[in-house]
Structure 1
Amino acid sequence: MSSKTYLDIDVYEATQRRLKYIFDEFDNVLVAFSGGKDSGVLLNLTYQYAKKHGQLNKVGMYFLDYEAQYQATIKYVQQMFDELKEIKHYWLCLPNSVPSATSMTTGTWIPWEKSKKDIWVRKMPKEKYVINEDNVPWDYKPATSDYQAQEDFTKWFSSKHGKTAALIGIRTDESYDRFRAIKSNHKVNSYGDKEWLVSKDSETVNAYPIYDWSVKDIWVCNGKEAFKYNKIYDLYYQAGMKINEMRVASPFLSEGLSDLHYYQVIEPDTWAKMLGRVNGVNFAGIYGKTTAMGWKNIKLPKGMTWKQYLKFLLKTLPEQTRKDYQKIFKTSIEFWDKKGGVLDDETIQELQDAGIPLEIKGKTNYKTNKKAVAFHDYPDDAPVKKFRTVPSYKRMCITIMKNDHTAKYMGFARTKAQEEKRRKAIEKYKNIL
């Protein structure tokens, strides 16, 4: 794993250099625009650069519409679509499979699903640049994951228009996973010597020009350049939310549950429609910031170990959901017993001080200073600062209580087999109707 390297230029200038490389290297520059602060700055910077250098003909933008979103976000997105008239526009309203942590029985929901049209949170926009299930120009199947749908769209775009850089406003300081994804030395699909470029196929490359920005950099740029931004952030600020906690993405992700209740205050009409649209929204809105949704300080029922509590929680779940969790948990136990994971010296010392038995296996094949550690007796709890990095039955309990069906909290990701299984199940159900 690469470490951070500090340059003698600021992030704005670094991004200007990256944009120059992108515009010189690619036939097209397609910006993924979510209506959030990061993608908003990236879109504005890209448009600003292209206009200054007479290359607006290369630029396009697309918005993946999740149906259940703040009206303020939709208003801002529409404003940007209307004002940036010289570039290509794509507004995707597709019935994708989207992660949801509000329900105990399913880990996804499907926006713009035709069979649910009577309870859609919003009417589908009708502009000519809207792509929906009826006019999608590439080989699309309902219930495709939202991430896969975006990748399929960008590949279709490049096949039609030529070599394309798809610009994504990801910042690595938001999570270690994002830092690792961009800075890893083990990427097999890197583009040239640019760690912030990732090839998706011979004509399509994902680009992360603002990966090294901080949230403060985003707002400084908005202020200095007088960029337009989503006014929902003003309401968040007035409500006392910290700037690093503000989100406008799909509202039902596990990362956003603690802020879900803001919909009820900021846009009560939208909230009312969301209640009848997605299973478990009301519960998540009420308890999203409490131990009921599985935060680290969840209290263990008196007289039980975390392993015993896990067995109790599993018994409360539907059969298939229970089996899915059991399979994930078994994989985790076997992994940490046989292969082991990597932990830093501070965490290892904390575990040893707490008397938790472990085996230090030494160096690994990964480029990291961390050590490989195995747990032959799976810990009940892990009283360490970096709680999520250490296996424990408590971490499993939290995973269930967060309705984290893919165990992202434990470091898992949904496999292609899981995606295909879910897609086939949803297709089968739709055919029955």
Structure 2
Amino acid sequence: MRPLRTPPNNRKIPLQKNVYCAALERISWVFDSFDRICMSFSGGKDSTLLFHLVAQEARRRKRTFSVMFIDWEVQFQYTIQHIQTMKQLYEDCTDTFYWIAIPITTVNGTSSYQPEWTAWEPGVKWVRQPPEGAITDPAFFPFYTQGMTFEDFVPSFNDWLARTQPVTPTAILTGMRADESLLRFQSICDRRKTRYSPDKPWTTASMSSGACTIAPLYDWKTADIWSWFARTGESCNPLYQLMFQAGVKPRYMRVCEPFGPEQRAGLWLFHVLEPQRWDQICQRVSGARTAEIYAADRNGFYGQGQINKPSEMTWRDYAMFLLDSLPPSTAEHYRNKIAVYLQWYRERDYPDDIPDFQDKDTGSKDIPSWRRICRTILRNDYWCRALSFSPTRTHHYERWKKRVQEKRKLWNVI
């Protein structure tokens, strides 16, 4: 396997050990340092590998740990079977398996009419039924609120677990890898975050609850993951083999909630691999069929590839046209986000207005322009991540919306 690389000061510096040995050392340190350990499990290749390594260490020490799996309702049957296989395989060293099948809201990047969707939403026909033993009552979690988003639920779960009696330092293990995206790399490198200790950049500590999120595989690459499975022969989600046979490149193989702006490109696999369930998915989630057809289209649909506008319009005019074409509630949401974005730049580099377009303004770096705003709307980027926003916490959103609506009258930006 490759030499380990660790990114202090935003740089990758090779060390004299490989990533496998480094991961084992980190997991051993976790068992030495924490009395309560919980692993976040998705059924994907990264979290499956981590599950194997953590279970092996737990068996060696005759310890146990808990597992948290969020069931998204719309999931491949292969993934559900794999989760059940792993649960049975390591039931001797896991104390609690939190199979969570409660209403949790996430982004729906396939539709402007339903920009968010809620798994296990009450009062609708579900794609499938939760398995026996799953947590289906939201009241099980005292922190749960109606309409709670995934971004709210996970940190709240971590804090709740750390405060569960007896209160004890708690480790939350994740299969996050810095190589997956620039955002994840930056989350590891961020020197402003609170770490368990300065020499452990792969930890993020919560000062309020005592929970510490740990990414033992943060420096692994995709090739390292598959090399480990090939050498050990350990159980992995069979969905990956089917993805490979269907022609999906390894870097695009994902096992997660299916309707996000990035994940929607894989919806066609449901039609190919589980056609008996595809009709139910199309009835359940607005825009699913459209995404299956166009999510891989690089000709401007969903804001991918080169985007175009009517020649007689400026990009600002086109942005106004796109906003006017959206459902009123969705348009108002975008107007609030865009107003904050414009005002931020008005107070800094662009007192009059941001440029209509700039070179490389549709890339990953936030280069402000009206063309970038158009691309954000076309992509159904509901929380405007491309404009450097993060999701607003559910219980703060209505208050935030009213406050911005009042400020828009003073700013007069949109």
Smaller-chain TM-score range? Answer: 0.7 to 0.9
Q: Does 1:108 pair with 2:112?
A: no
Q: Does the aligned pair in 2 maintain the 1:169–1:211 contact within 8 Å? A: yes
Deviations 1:392-426 (A, max 9, x none): 212211111111111112221122367543999xx
For residue 192 of structure 1, the aligned residue among 182, 190, 197 is 197
C-alpha distance after superposition, 1:186-209 (max 9, x if no partner): 11x321222211123343111111
Q: Does the CA contact (< 8 Å) of 1:142 and 1:423 recur in 2? A: no
Question: Which among 381, 388, 401 is matched to residue 404 of structure 1?
Answer: 381
| Aligned residue number for residue 5 of structure 1 | 13
1:83 paired residue number: 89
CA distance in 2, matches of 1:73, 1:396: 36
Q: What letter is aligned with 1:24?
A: D
Letter in structure 2 aligned against 1:224:
R
Residues 5 and 236 from structure 1, CA distance in 2 versus in 1: closer, same or farther, beyond 3 angstroms? same
Q: Find 2:253's aligned residue among 243, 246, 267.
A: 246
Q: Does 2:34 match 1:30?
A: no
Deviation (angstroms), 1:141: 2.1
* In the alignment, structure 1 residue 269 sits paired with structure 2 residue 246: no
Distance in 2 between the 1:233 and 1:294 partners? Answer: 28
Q: Helix, strand or coil: the match of 1:205?
A: strand
- In the alignment, is residue 174 of structure 1 matched against residue 150 of structure 2? no
Computed over aligned residues only, the root mean square deviation of the Cα atoms, in angstroms, reads 2.2
2: CA distance between counterparts of 1:167 and 1:26?
Answer: 11
Structure 1 residue aligned with 2:25, among 14, 17, 21?
A: 17
Task: Determine if contact 1:388/1:410 at 8 Å carries over to the other structure.
Answer: no
Q: Describe the shift of the 1:215–1:423 C-alpha distance in structure 2 as closer, same or farther (beyond 3 A).
A: farther
The residue correspondences of 1:107-186 to structure 2 (distance < 5 A) are 107-116=115-124, 119-127=125-133, 130-133=134-137, 136-158=140-162, 159-160=164-165, 162-186=168-192
- How many angstroms does 1:49 deviate by? 1.9
Letter of the structure 1 residue corresponding to residue 266 of structure 2: D
Indicate the residue corresponding to 1:348 in structure 2. none
- What is aligned with 1:382? 358
Residue 316 (structure 2) pairs with residue 310 (structure 1): no
State the partner residue of 2:56.
Answer: 48
> Is contact 1:138-1:153 (8 Å) kept?
no
Residue deviations 1:41-93 (CA, integer Å, cap 9, x gap): 11111112222x32332x11121100001111111111111111111211011
Q: Do the aligned partners of residues 60 and 179 (structure 1) sit closer, same or farther apart at CA in structure 2, a change above 3 Å counting?
A: same
| Length-normalised TM-score, structure 1 | 0.83
Q: 1:93 aligns with which of 101, 123, 129?
A: 101
Q: Secondary structure at the match of 2:202?
A: strand
Please list the CA deviations of residues 216-242 of structure 1 after superposition, one character each: whole Å capped at 9, or x if unmatched.
111111112222111111111111111
Matched, 1:329 2:338: yes
Aligned residue pairs, count: 384
Offset at residue 338 of structure 1 (A): 2.6
Superposition misfits of 4+ residues, deviation over 6 angstroms = none
Counterpart-to-counterpart distance in 1, 2:69 and 2:32:
25
1:258–1:288 Cα contact (<8 Å) kept: yes
Structure 1 segments unaligned to the other structure (5+ residues): 341-373, 425-433
- Among the aligned pairs, what percent are the same residue? 32
1:155 Cα deviation after fit: 2.7
Change (3 A) 1:64 1:54: same
Q: Structure 2 length normalisation: TM-score?
A: 0.87
Structure 2 distance, partners of 1:230, 1:294, is: 32
Unaligned 5+ segments in structure 2 are: 1-8, 402-414
